[in-house]
Structure 1
Amino acid sequence: MRRRLSYLICVMCVVLGFVACAEAEAELKLGFYDKTCPKAETIIADYVKKHIPNAPTVAATLLRTHFHDCFVRGCDASILINSTKNNEAEKDSAPDVTLRGYDFIDRVKSLVEEECPGVVSCADIIALVARDAVGVIGGPYWEVPTGRRDGRISNKTEALNEIPGPQFNFSRLKASFASKGLDLKDLAVLSGAHTIGIAHCNSFNKRLYNFSGKGDNVLDEDPSLDPFYAANLRKNKCKTPTDNTSIAEMDPGSFLTFDIDYYRNLLKRRGLFQSDAALLTNSVTKSYVVELLDGPLETFFKEFAVSMVKMGKIQVKTGTEGEIRKNCAVINS
Protein backbone atom coordinates (compact mmCIF):
# COMPACT_ATOMS: atom_id res chain seq x y z
CA MET A 1 0.00 0.00 0.00
CA ARG A 2 2.80 2.37 0.93
CA ARG A 3 4.62 1.62 -2.34
CA ARG A 4 1.45 2.24 -4.34
CA LEU A 5 0.90 5.57 -2.55
CA SER A 6 4.47 6.61 -3.28
CA TYR A 7 3.98 5.69 -6.93
CA LEU A 8 0.80 7.73 -7.16
CA ILE A 9 2.51 10.72 -5.57
CA CYS A 10 5.34 10.49 -8.11
CA VAL A 11 2.88 10.32 -10.99
CA MET A 12 1.03 13.36 -9.67
CA CYS A 13 4.28 15.28 -9.37
CA VAL A 14 5.18 14.47 -12.95
CA VAL A 15 1.72 15.49 -14.17
CA LEU A 16 1.77 18.68 -12.15
CA GLY A 17 5.23 19.40 -13.46
CA PHE A 18 4.00 19.15 -17.02
CA VAL A 19 1.03 21.35 -16.16
CA ALA A 20 3.37 23.94 -14.66
CA CYS A 21 5.53 23.90 -17.78
CA ALA A 22 2.49 24.26 -20.01
CA GLU A 23 1.19 27.14 -17.93
CA ALA A 24 4.57 28.88 -18.04
CA GLU A 25 4.68 28.64 -21.83
CA ALA A 26 1.06 29.76 -22.06
CA GLU A 27 2.00 32.97 -20.30
CA LEU A 28 4.12 33.90 -23.29
CA LYS A 29 1.67 35.41 -25.72
CA LEU A 30 1.47 37.83 -28.60
CA GLY A 31 0.67 41.33 -27.44
CA PHE A 32 1.54 40.63 -23.80
CA TYR A 33 2.09 44.37 -23.23
CA ASP A 34 -0.99 45.59 -25.12
CA LYS A 35 -2.60 46.88 -21.91
CA THR A 36 0.41 47.54 -19.66
CA CYS A 37 2.64 49.22 -22.24
CA PRO A 38 0.86 49.36 -25.62
CA LYS A 39 3.57 51.39 -27.37
CA ALA A 40 6.47 49.17 -26.29
CA GLU A 41 6.92 47.10 -29.42
CA THR A 42 6.51 50.16 -31.66
CA ILE A 43 9.15 52.06 -29.68
CA ILE A 44 11.54 49.15 -30.02
CA ALA A 45 10.89 48.61 -33.73
CA ASP A 46 11.22 52.33 -34.54
CA TYR A 47 14.58 52.56 -32.78
CA VAL A 48 15.90 49.47 -34.57
CA LYS A 49 14.68 50.69 -37.96
CA LYS A 50 16.32 54.06 -37.40
CA HIS A 51 19.75 52.86 -36.26
CA ILE A 52 20.49 49.46 -37.80
CA PRO A 53 20.81 50.91 -41.34
CA ASN A 54 23.69 53.02 -40.02
CA ALA A 55 25.36 50.00 -38.39
CA PRO A 56 24.12 46.87 -40.18
CA THR A 57 26.77 44.61 -38.63
CA VAL A 58 25.03 45.09 -35.26
CA ALA A 59 22.12 42.99 -36.54
CA ALA A 60 24.27 39.87 -36.42
CA THR A 61 25.47 40.50 -32.89
CA LEU A 62 21.94 41.20 -31.64
CA LEU A 63 20.79 37.89 -33.13
CA ARG A 64 23.79 36.11 -31.61
CA THR A 65 23.09 37.73 -28.23
CA HIS A 66 19.57 36.29 -28.29
CA PHE A 67 20.93 32.84 -29.15
CA HIS A 68 23.60 32.91 -26.45
CA ASP A 69 21.15 34.20 -23.87
CA CYS A 70 18.63 31.44 -24.49
CA PHE A 71 21.24 28.68 -24.24
CA VAL A 72 22.24 29.67 -20.70
CA ARG A 73 19.43 29.51 -18.11
CA GLY A 74 16.89 30.10 -20.84
CA CYS A 75 15.85 33.36 -22.48
CA ASP A 76 16.11 35.52 -19.35
CA ALA A 77 18.57 38.29 -20.28
CA SER A 78 21.20 36.83 -17.95
CA ILE A 79 23.73 37.58 -20.68
CA LEU A 80 23.28 41.32 -20.07
CA ILE A 81 24.23 41.28 -16.38
CA ASN A 82 27.57 42.85 -15.51
CA SER A 83 30.22 41.04 -13.50
CA THR A 84 30.79 42.15 -9.93
CA LYS A 85 33.67 41.69 -7.51
CA ASN A 86 31.91 38.58 -6.24
CA ASN A 87 30.74 37.10 -9.52
CA GLU A 88 32.05 36.69 -13.06
CA ALA A 89 29.05 36.97 -15.37
CA GLU A 90 28.23 35.40 -18.73
CA LYS A 91 29.28 38.39 -20.80
CA ASP A 92 32.88 37.89 -19.65
CA SER A 93 33.01 34.26 -20.81
CA ALA A 94 35.00 33.33 -23.91
CA PRO A 95 31.91 32.77 -26.12
CA ASP A 96 30.55 36.22 -25.24
CA VAL A 97 33.52 38.57 -25.04
CA THR A 98 33.26 39.44 -28.74
CA LEU A 99 29.57 40.34 -28.53
CA ARG A 100 28.71 43.95 -29.14
CA GLY A 101 25.42 45.78 -28.95
CA TYR A 102 24.94 45.91 -25.19
CA ASP A 103 24.73 49.70 -25.39
CA PHE A 104 22.17 49.35 -28.19
CA ILE A 105 19.95 47.25 -25.94
CA ASP A 106 20.50 49.66 -23.04
CA ARG A 107 19.30 52.59 -25.15
CA VAL A 108 16.19 50.67 -26.19
CA LYS A 109 15.52 49.77 -22.57
CA SER A 110 15.83 53.41 -21.48
CA LEU A 111 13.25 54.49 -24.08
CA VAL A 112 10.82 51.80 -22.97
CA GLU A 113 11.40 52.66 -19.31
CA GLU A 114 10.51 56.30 -20.04
CA GLU A 115 7.21 55.13 -21.48
CA CYS A 116 6.40 52.38 -18.97
CA PRO A 117 8.71 52.12 -15.95
CA GLY A 118 9.30 48.61 -14.68
CA VAL A 119 7.00 46.85 -17.14
CA VAL A 120 8.95 45.48 -20.13
CA SER A 121 11.63 42.88 -19.45
CA CYS A 122 15.13 42.95 -20.84
CA ALA A 123 14.58 39.37 -21.99
CA ASP A 124 11.68 40.45 -24.21
CA ILE A 125 13.69 43.39 -25.50
CA ILE A 126 16.50 41.03 -26.60
CA ALA A 127 14.00 38.83 -28.46
CA LEU A 128 12.31 41.80 -30.14
CA VAL A 129 15.43 43.70 -31.21
CA ALA A 130 16.90 40.49 -32.69
CA ARG A 131 13.77 39.95 -34.78
CA ASP A 132 13.50 43.59 -35.84
CA ALA A 133 17.21 43.92 -36.70
CA VAL A 134 17.09 40.84 -38.93
CA GLY A 135 14.08 42.33 -40.68
CA VAL A 136 15.84 45.63 -41.33
CA ILE A 137 18.65 43.90 -43.23
CA GLY A 138 16.18 42.01 -45.39
CA GLY A 139 15.70 38.87 -43.33
CA PRO A 140 12.54 37.07 -42.26
CA TYR A 141 9.91 38.35 -39.87
CA TRP A 142 8.50 36.21 -37.10
CA GLU A 143 5.94 36.82 -34.40
CA VAL A 144 7.54 37.17 -30.96
CA PRO A 145 5.31 36.08 -28.09
CA THR A 146 6.25 38.10 -25.03
CA GLY A 147 5.94 37.85 -21.28
CA ARG A 148 9.46 36.73 -20.39
CA ARG A 149 10.91 37.86 -17.10
CA ASP A 150 14.53 38.56 -16.29
CA GLY A 151 16.79 36.19 -14.40
CA ARG A 152 18.88 37.17 -11.42
CA ILE A 153 21.81 34.81 -11.96
CA SER A 154 24.60 35.11 -14.53
CA ASN A 155 27.59 32.81 -14.36
CA LYS A 156 30.66 32.80 -16.59
CA THR A 157 31.29 29.07 -16.18
CA GLU A 158 27.74 28.19 -17.17
CA ALA A 159 28.16 30.13 -20.41
CA LEU A 160 31.38 28.24 -21.15
CA ASN A 161 29.61 24.93 -20.59
CA GLU A 162 26.28 25.61 -22.29
CA ILE A 163 26.94 27.66 -25.43
CA PRO A 164 27.80 25.45 -28.42
CA GLY A 165 31.24 26.35 -29.71
CA PRO A 166 32.60 26.85 -33.24
CA GLN A 167 34.85 23.82 -32.76
CA PHE A 168 31.97 21.43 -31.95
CA ASN A 169 31.57 18.23 -33.95
CA PHE A 170 28.16 16.88 -34.88
CA SER A 171 27.68 14.77 -31.75
CA ARG A 172 28.33 17.72 -29.47
CA LEU A 173 26.08 19.99 -31.51
CA LYS A 174 23.26 17.47 -31.47
CA ALA A 175 23.55 16.99 -27.70
CA SER A 176 23.73 20.73 -27.06
CA PHE A 177 20.63 21.52 -29.09
CA ALA A 178 18.71 18.51 -27.78
CA SER A 179 19.35 19.64 -24.21
CA LYS A 180 17.42 22.81 -25.06
CA GLY A 181 14.54 21.02 -26.77
CA LEU A 182 15.79 21.76 -30.29
CA ASP A 183 16.00 19.08 -32.97
CA LEU A 184 18.24 18.48 -35.98
CA LYS A 185 16.09 20.64 -38.22
CA ASP A 186 16.46 23.52 -35.77
CA LEU A 187 20.21 22.93 -35.77
CA ALA A 188 20.45 23.12 -39.56
CA VAL A 189 18.09 26.08 -39.86
CA LEU A 190 19.47 28.18 -37.00
CA SER A 191 23.01 27.63 -38.28
CA GLY A 192 21.81 29.64 -41.26
CA ALA A 193 22.18 32.71 -39.05
CA HIS A 194 25.84 32.52 -40.08
CA THR A 195 24.73 34.09 -43.34
CA ILE A 196 25.39 37.40 -41.56
CA GLY A 197 28.18 38.57 -39.32
CA ILE A 198 31.88 38.16 -38.77
CA ALA A 199 34.15 35.93 -36.70
CA HIS A 200 37.50 36.47 -35.02
CA CYS A 201 40.39 34.34 -36.23
CA ASN A 202 40.85 32.59 -32.91
CA SER A 203 37.47 30.89 -33.38
CA PHE A 204 38.62 28.99 -36.48
CA ASN A 205 42.41 29.45 -36.73
CA LYS A 206 43.08 25.83 -35.80
CA ARG A 207 41.45 24.80 -39.07
CA LEU A 208 44.17 26.73 -40.91
CA TYR A 209 47.20 25.90 -38.79
CA ASN A 210 48.12 22.86 -36.73
CA PHE A 211 44.78 21.11 -37.12
CA SER A 212 46.22 17.74 -36.08
CA GLY A 213 47.94 19.30 -33.08
CA LYS A 214 51.37 18.04 -34.10
CA GLY A 215 52.97 21.45 -34.66
CA ASP A 216 52.59 24.83 -36.32
CA ASN A 217 52.77 23.54 -39.86
CA VAL A 218 51.10 25.96 -42.26
CA LEU A 219 49.96 23.01 -44.40
CA ASP A 220 48.38 21.20 -41.48
CA GLU A 221 44.85 22.34 -42.19
CA ASP A 222 41.43 20.82 -41.65
CA PRO A 223 40.90 18.37 -44.54
CA SER A 224 37.16 19.15 -44.52
CA LEU A 225 37.95 22.76 -45.48
CA ASP A 226 38.32 23.74 -49.13
CA PRO A 227 42.10 24.23 -49.59
CA PHE A 228 41.70 27.29 -51.81
CA TYR A 229 39.43 28.91 -49.23
CA ALA A 230 41.89 28.02 -46.47
CA ALA A 231 44.78 29.51 -48.42
CA ASN A 232 42.82 32.71 -48.98
CA LEU A 233 42.03 32.99 -45.27
CA ARG A 234 45.70 32.55 -44.38
CA LYS A 235 46.80 35.09 -46.95
CA ASN A 236 44.21 37.81 -46.42
CA LYS A 237 42.59 37.32 -43.01
CA CYS A 238 44.37 35.21 -40.39
CA LYS A 239 48.03 35.50 -41.33
CA THR A 240 49.50 33.80 -38.26
CA PRO A 241 48.46 30.89 -36.04
CA THR A 242 48.27 33.23 -33.04
CA ASP A 243 46.12 35.94 -34.62
CA ASN A 244 43.28 36.56 -32.16
CA THR A 245 42.10 39.96 -33.35
CA SER A 246 41.64 39.86 -37.12
CA ILE A 247 38.22 39.03 -38.48
CA ALA A 248 36.65 37.23 -41.43
CA GLU A 249 33.15 37.29 -42.86
CA MET A 250 31.16 34.15 -42.11
CA ASP A 251 29.45 34.45 -45.48
CA PRO A 252 31.97 36.14 -47.80
CA GLY A 253 30.39 38.40 -50.37
CA SER A 254 27.05 38.83 -48.62
CA PHE A 255 27.72 38.92 -44.90
CA LEU A 256 25.37 41.88 -44.50
CA THR A 257 22.55 40.19 -46.39
CA PHE A 258 20.26 37.56 -44.93
CA ASP A 259 20.22 34.99 -47.72
CA ILE A 260 20.98 31.31 -48.39
CA ASP A 261 24.56 31.79 -49.59
CA TYR A 262 25.75 30.33 -46.29
CA TYR A 263 24.40 26.94 -47.38
CA ARG A 264 25.89 27.33 -50.84
CA ASN A 265 29.32 27.96 -49.31
CA LEU A 266 28.82 25.08 -46.92
CA LEU A 267 28.39 22.58 -49.76
CA LYS A 268 31.58 23.99 -51.30
CA ARG A 269 33.34 23.13 -48.02
CA ARG A 270 33.66 26.80 -47.20
CA GLY A 271 31.85 26.92 -43.89
CA LEU A 272 34.08 28.95 -41.59
CA PHE A 273 33.68 26.92 -38.40
CA GLN A 274 34.14 23.24 -37.64
CA SER A 275 30.56 23.36 -36.40
CA ASP A 276 29.48 24.51 -39.86
CA ALA A 277 31.30 21.67 -41.58
CA ALA A 278 29.81 19.26 -39.03
CA LEU A 279 26.35 19.74 -40.56
CA LEU A 280 27.55 17.81 -43.62
CA THR A 281 28.77 14.84 -41.57
CA ASN A 282 25.22 13.74 -40.73
CA SER A 283 22.76 12.59 -43.38
CA VAL A 284 19.78 14.31 -41.74
CA THR A 285 21.29 17.77 -41.34
CA LYS A 286 22.97 17.51 -44.74
CA SER A 287 19.60 16.77 -46.32
CA TYR A 288 18.16 19.89 -44.68
CA VAL A 289 21.06 21.94 -46.03
CA VAL A 290 20.43 20.66 -49.55
CA GLU A 291 16.66 21.21 -49.29
CA LEU A 292 17.07 24.78 -48.06
CA LEU A 293 19.52 25.57 -50.83
CA ASP A 294 17.40 23.99 -53.54
CA GLY A 295 14.22 25.71 -52.40
CA PRO A 296 13.19 29.35 -52.67
CA LEU A 297 14.50 31.90 -50.20
CA GLU A 298 11.02 32.10 -48.70
CA THR A 299 11.31 28.50 -47.49
CA PHE A 300 14.44 29.28 -45.52
CA PHE A 301 12.80 32.39 -44.11
CA LYS A 302 9.74 30.43 -43.04
CA GLU A 303 11.76 27.65 -41.40
CA PHE A 304 14.10 30.11 -39.71
CA ALA A 305 11.13 31.97 -38.26
CA VAL A 306 9.65 28.74 -36.85
CA SER A 307 12.94 27.75 -35.20
CA MET A 308 13.49 31.23 -33.78
CA VAL A 309 10.09 31.20 -32.09
CA LYS A 310 10.89 27.77 -30.71
CA MET A 311 14.30 28.87 -29.46
CA GLY A 312 12.79 31.98 -27.87
CA LYS A 313 10.72 29.78 -25.55
CA ILE A 314 13.65 27.90 -24.00
CA GLN A 315 13.24 27.77 -20.20
CA VAL A 316 11.49 31.14 -20.07
CA LYS A 317 10.65 32.73 -16.74
CA THR A 318 7.09 33.98 -16.54
CA GLY A 319 4.47 34.97 -14.00
CA THR A 320 6.17 35.72 -10.70
CA GLU A 321 9.51 34.16 -11.58
CA GLY A 322 12.54 36.39 -11.84
CA GLU A 323 12.07 40.15 -12.09
CA ILE A 324 11.74 43.08 -14.49
CA ARG A 325 15.16 44.72 -14.36
CA LYS A 326 15.24 48.51 -14.28
CA ASN A 327 18.76 48.42 -15.72
CA CYS A 328 19.49 45.43 -17.94
CA ALA A 329 23.07 45.22 -16.72
CA VAL A 330 22.25 45.21 -13.01
CA ILE A 331 20.02 43.01 -10.87
CA ASN A 332 17.38 44.97 -9.00
CA SER A 333 18.42 45.68 -5.42
Structure 2
Amino acid sequence: MAASLFRLAFFVALVLPQTSALSSNYYSKSCPKLFQVVNPIMDKAIRRRLELGCDGSLLLDDTPTFTGEKTTPRNVNIRGFDVIDDIKTAVEMECPGIVSCADILAIASQVSVRKLRGPIWHLMLGRLDARTANKDLADANLPSFSLNLGGLKTNFQNVGLSEKDLVALSGGHTIGQAVCTTFRTRIYTDTNIDPIFAAKRQ
Protein backbone atom coordinates (compact mmCIF):
# COMPACT_ATOMS: atom_id res chain seq x y z
CA MET A 1 0.00 0.00 0.00
CA ALA A 2 2.70 2.48 0.98
CA ALA A 3 4.58 1.76 -2.23
CA SER A 4 1.48 2.74 -4.19
CA LEU A 5 1.18 5.88 -2.07
CA PHE A 6 4.79 6.72 -2.88
CA ARG A 7 4.10 6.40 -6.59
CA LEU A 8 0.96 8.51 -6.25
CA ALA A 9 2.77 11.13 -4.17
CA PHE A 10 5.59 11.29 -6.72
CA PHE A 11 3.12 11.61 -9.60
CA VAL A 12 1.14 14.37 -7.92
CA ALA A 13 4.35 16.22 -7.06
CA LEU A 14 5.26 16.16 -10.74
CA VAL A 15 1.94 17.48 -12.02
CA LEU A 16 1.48 20.22 -9.41
CA PRO A 17 3.43 23.48 -9.56
CA GLN A 18 6.55 23.58 -7.45
CA THR A 19 5.42 26.62 -5.46
CA SER A 20 1.95 26.89 -4.04
CA ALA A 21 0.09 29.28 -1.76
CA LEU A 22 -2.27 27.63 0.71
CA SER A 23 -5.95 28.47 0.39
CA SER A 24 -9.14 27.12 1.95
CA ASN A 25 -10.73 26.89 -1.50
CA TYR A 26 -7.68 25.55 -3.33
CA TYR A 27 -9.66 22.68 -4.91
CA SER A 28 -13.01 24.46 -5.30
CA LYS A 29 -12.79 24.36 -9.10
CA SER A 30 -10.42 21.48 -9.81
CA CYS A 31 -12.02 19.02 -7.35
CA PRO A 32 -15.22 20.52 -5.93
CA LYS A 33 -16.48 17.25 -4.40
CA LEU A 34 -13.25 16.56 -2.51
CA PHE A 35 -14.76 16.73 0.99
CA GLN A 36 -17.78 14.69 -0.09
CA VAL A 37 -15.37 11.95 -1.17
CA VAL A 38 -13.33 12.05 2.06
CA ASN A 39 -16.22 12.16 4.57
CA PRO A 40 -17.67 8.63 4.21
CA ILE A 41 -14.22 7.04 4.31
CA MET A 42 -13.40 8.91 7.51
CA ASP A 43 -16.73 7.77 8.98
CA LYS A 44 -15.61 4.16 8.56
CA ALA A 45 -12.13 4.90 9.89
CA ILE A 46 -13.45 6.58 13.02
CA ARG A 47 -15.72 3.64 13.71
CA ARG A 48 -12.65 1.42 13.51
CA ARG A 49 -10.79 3.79 15.89
CA LEU A 50 -7.75 4.17 13.69
CA GLU A 51 -5.03 6.75 14.16
CA LEU A 52 -3.70 8.84 11.30
CA GLY A 53 -0.33 10.37 10.77
CA CYS A 54 -0.18 14.03 9.85
CA ASP A 55 2.93 14.38 7.73
CA GLY A 56 2.94 13.58 4.01
CA SER A 57 6.49 12.23 4.11
CA LEU A 58 5.37 9.66 6.68
CA LEU A 59 3.49 7.85 3.90
CA LEU A 60 6.66 7.03 1.99
CA ASP A 61 8.22 3.59 2.30
CA ASP A 62 11.95 2.97 2.27
CA THR A 63 13.63 3.24 -1.13
CA PRO A 64 17.21 2.62 -2.30
CA THR A 65 17.93 6.33 -1.75
CA PHE A 66 16.36 6.98 1.67
CA THR A 67 15.03 5.31 4.81
CA GLY A 68 11.43 6.29 5.50
CA GLU A 69 9.96 7.62 8.72
CA LYS A 70 7.63 4.71 9.47
CA THR A 71 10.32 2.70 11.23
CA THR A 72 11.45 5.37 13.68
CA PRO A 73 10.47 4.27 17.21
CA ARG A 74 8.26 7.33 17.64
CA ASN A 75 6.18 6.40 14.59
CA VAL A 76 6.08 2.63 14.92
CA ASN A 77 2.54 2.53 16.37
CA ILE A 78 0.92 4.83 13.82
CA ARG A 79 -2.01 3.20 12.06
CA GLY A 80 -4.43 4.25 9.35
CA PHE A 81 -2.28 4.14 6.23
CA ASP A 82 -4.99 2.03 4.60
CA VAL A 83 -7.51 4.80 5.28
CA ILE A 84 -5.35 7.35 3.47
CA ASP A 85 -4.92 4.87 0.62
CA ASP A 86 -8.71 4.44 0.39
CA ILE A 87 -9.22 8.21 0.36
CA LYS A 88 -6.52 8.73 -2.26
CA THR A 89 -8.06 6.05 -4.49
CA ALA A 90 -11.52 7.61 -4.19
CA VAL A 91 -10.21 11.14 -4.75
CA GLU A 92 -8.25 10.01 -7.82
CA MET A 93 -11.48 8.63 -9.30
CA GLU A 94 -13.19 11.98 -8.74
CA CYS A 95 -10.36 14.29 -9.83
CA PRO A 96 -7.23 12.44 -10.98
CA GLY A 97 -3.83 14.00 -10.47
CA ILE A 98 -5.13 17.03 -8.58
CA VAL A 99 -5.17 16.56 -4.80
CA SER A 100 -1.88 15.97 -2.98
CA CYS A 101 -1.45 13.23 -0.39
CA ALA A 102 -0.27 15.90 2.07
CA ASP A 103 -3.59 17.72 1.69
CA ILE A 104 -5.50 14.45 2.02
CA LEU A 105 -3.81 13.93 5.39
CA ALA A 106 -4.75 17.45 6.46
CA ILE A 107 -8.35 16.98 5.33
CA ALA A 108 -8.62 13.57 7.00
CA SER A 109 -7.34 15.08 10.24
CA GLN A 110 -9.84 17.92 10.13
CA VAL A 111 -12.76 15.67 9.19
CA SER A 112 -11.97 13.15 11.93
CA VAL A 113 -11.72 15.85 14.61
CA ARG A 114 -14.98 17.41 13.46
CA LYS A 115 -16.76 14.05 13.42
CA LEU A 116 -15.54 13.39 16.95
CA ARG A 117 -17.03 16.77 17.95
CA GLY A 118 -13.71 18.49 18.41
CA PRO A 119 -12.86 22.04 17.38
CA ILE A 120 -13.30 23.23 13.81
CA TRP A 121 -10.57 25.23 12.11
CA HIS A 122 -10.14 27.00 8.80
CA LEU A 123 -8.20 24.46 6.72
CA MET A 124 -5.71 25.86 4.24
CA LEU A 125 -4.99 23.64 1.24
CA GLY A 126 -2.44 23.55 -1.56
CA ARG A 127 0.40 21.52 -0.01
CA LEU A 128 2.83 19.77 -2.32
CA ASP A 129 3.80 16.18 -1.68
CA ALA A 130 7.19 15.26 -0.29
CA ARG A 131 9.44 13.35 -2.66
CA THR A 132 11.64 12.01 0.10
CA ALA A 133 11.59 11.20 3.82
CA ASN A 134 14.21 11.47 6.53
CA LYS A 135 14.23 8.98 9.39
CA ASP A 136 17.08 10.80 11.17
CA LEU A 137 15.15 14.08 11.21
CA ALA A 138 12.06 12.29 12.48
CA ASP A 139 14.14 10.71 15.26
CA ALA A 140 15.64 14.08 16.15
CA ASN A 141 12.53 16.27 15.91
CA LEU A 142 9.56 14.20 17.03
CA PRO A 143 9.02 14.57 20.78
CA SER A 144 9.40 11.50 22.95
CA PHE A 145 6.44 10.40 25.05
CA SER A 146 8.76 10.56 28.07
CA LEU A 147 9.44 14.31 27.83
CA ASN A 148 8.21 16.48 30.68
CA LEU A 149 6.47 19.81 30.08
CA GLY A 150 9.71 21.76 29.87
CA GLY A 151 11.16 19.30 27.40
CA LEU A 152 8.02 19.43 25.26
CA LYS A 153 8.07 23.23 25.19
CA THR A 154 11.70 23.23 24.09
CA ASN A 155 11.06 20.56 21.47
CA PHE A 156 8.17 22.51 19.96
CA GLN A 157 10.05 25.82 20.07
CA ASN A 158 12.95 24.22 18.22
CA VAL A 159 10.71 23.54 15.23
CA GLY A 160 8.88 26.87 15.34
CA LEU A 161 5.75 25.74 17.19
CA SER A 162 4.10 27.61 20.05
CA GLU A 163 2.69 26.51 23.39
CA LYS A 164 -0.76 26.76 21.80
CA ASP A 165 0.41 24.29 19.14
CA LEU A 166 1.72 22.04 21.92
CA VAL A 167 -1.66 21.98 23.67
CA ALA A 168 -3.56 21.35 20.43
CA LEU A 169 -1.30 18.55 19.23
CA SER A 170 -1.09 16.93 22.65
CA GLY A 171 -4.88 16.99 22.87
CA GLY A 172 -5.08 15.35 19.48
CA HIS A 173 -3.16 12.40 20.88
CA THR A 174 -5.91 11.68 23.40
CA ILE A 175 -8.05 10.16 20.63
CA GLY A 176 -7.65 6.41 20.21
CA GLN A 177 -5.47 4.03 22.17
CA ALA A 178 -1.94 4.18 23.58
CA VAL A 179 0.66 1.47 23.99
CA CYS A 180 1.21 0.61 27.66
CA THR A 181 4.94 1.36 27.52
CA THR A 182 4.20 5.01 26.76
CA PHE A 183 2.55 5.65 30.13
CA ARG A 184 3.55 2.72 32.36
CA THR A 185 6.24 4.65 34.24
CA ARG A 186 3.85 7.53 34.85
CA ILE A 187 1.10 5.45 36.47
CA TYR A 188 3.41 3.18 38.49
CA THR A 189 6.29 5.45 39.48
CA ASP A 190 5.42 9.15 39.31
CA THR A 191 4.07 10.82 42.43
CA ASN A 192 2.66 13.98 40.82
CA ILE A 193 -0.41 12.15 39.51
CA ASP A 194 -3.87 11.58 40.96
CA PRO A 195 -3.52 8.16 42.68
CA ILE A 196 -7.10 7.15 41.86
CA PHE A 197 -6.57 8.00 38.19
CA ALA A 198 -3.29 6.05 38.17
CA ALA A 199 -4.79 3.02 39.93
CA LYS A 200 -7.58 2.74 37.37
CA ARG A 201 -5.01 2.48 34.60
CA GLN A 202 -2.66 0.01 36.27
User: Which range, TM-score by smaller chain?
Assistant: 0.7 to 0.9
Amino acid at match of 2:80: G
1:96 shift after superposition: 0.9
Amino acid at match of 1:225: I
- In 2: Cα distance, 1:125 partner to 1:188 partner: 23
Residue 29 of structure 2 is aligned to residue 35 of structure 1: yes
Alignment-derived partner of residue 230 in structure 1: 198
2:89 counterpart (98, 110, 116): 110
Alignment-derived partner of residue 182 in structure 1: 161
1:85 shift after superposition: 5.0
Cα 1:177/1:34, change in 2 over 3 Å: same
Alignment-derived partner of residue 80 in structure 1: 59
- In 2: Cα distance, 1:205 partner to 1:54 partner: 27
Residues 95 and 165, structure 1, Cα contact 8 Å, conserved in 2? yes
- In 2: Cα distance, 1:119 partner to 1:166 partner: 36
1:230 shift after superposition: 3.1
Residues 46 and 112, structure 2, Cα contact 8 Å, conserved in 1? no
1:208 shift after superposition: 4.5
Amino acid at match of 2:134: N
Alpha-carbon RMSD across the aligned residues, in angstroms, is: 2.0
Residues 41 and 83, structure 2, Cα contact 8 Å, conserved in 1? no
Alignment-derived partner of residue 119 in structure 1: 98
- In 2: Cα distance, 1:54 partner to 1:197 partner: 11
Residues 83 and 89, structure 1, Cα contact 8 Å, conserved in 2? yes
1:53 shift after superposition: 5.1
Higher radius of gyration, 1 or 2: 1
Cα 1:27/1:94, change in 2 over 3 Å: same
Q: TM-score, normalised by structure 2?
A: 0.81
- In 1: Cα distance, 2:91 partner to 2:137 partner: 30
Q: TM-score, normalised by structure 1?
A: 0.51
Aligned residues: 184
Amino acid at match of 1:127: A
1:136 counterpart (115, 122, 131): 115
1:182 shift after superposition: 2.1
Q: Unpaired runs of 5+ in structure 1?
A: 1-23, 70-76, 210-220, 235-333
- In 2: Cα distance, 1:48 partner to 1:229 partner: 31
- In 1: Cα distance, 2:110 partner to 2:39 partner: 9
Residues 82 and 89, structure 1, Cα contact 8 Å, conserved in 2? yes
Cα 1:202/1:131, change in 2 over 3 Å: same
Cα deviation per residue 1:75-125 (whole Å; 9 max; x = unaligned)? xx0000012355321011111111110000001001111122211100000
Give aligned-pair identity as a percent: 39
Alignment-derived partner of residue 165 in structure 1: 144
- The 4+ residue runs of structure 1 with deviation greater than 6 A are none
Alignment-derived partner of residue 193 in structure 1: 172
Residues 29 and 147, structure 1, Cα contact 8 Å, conserved in 2? yes
- In 2: Cα distance, 1:124 partner to 1:169 partner: 31
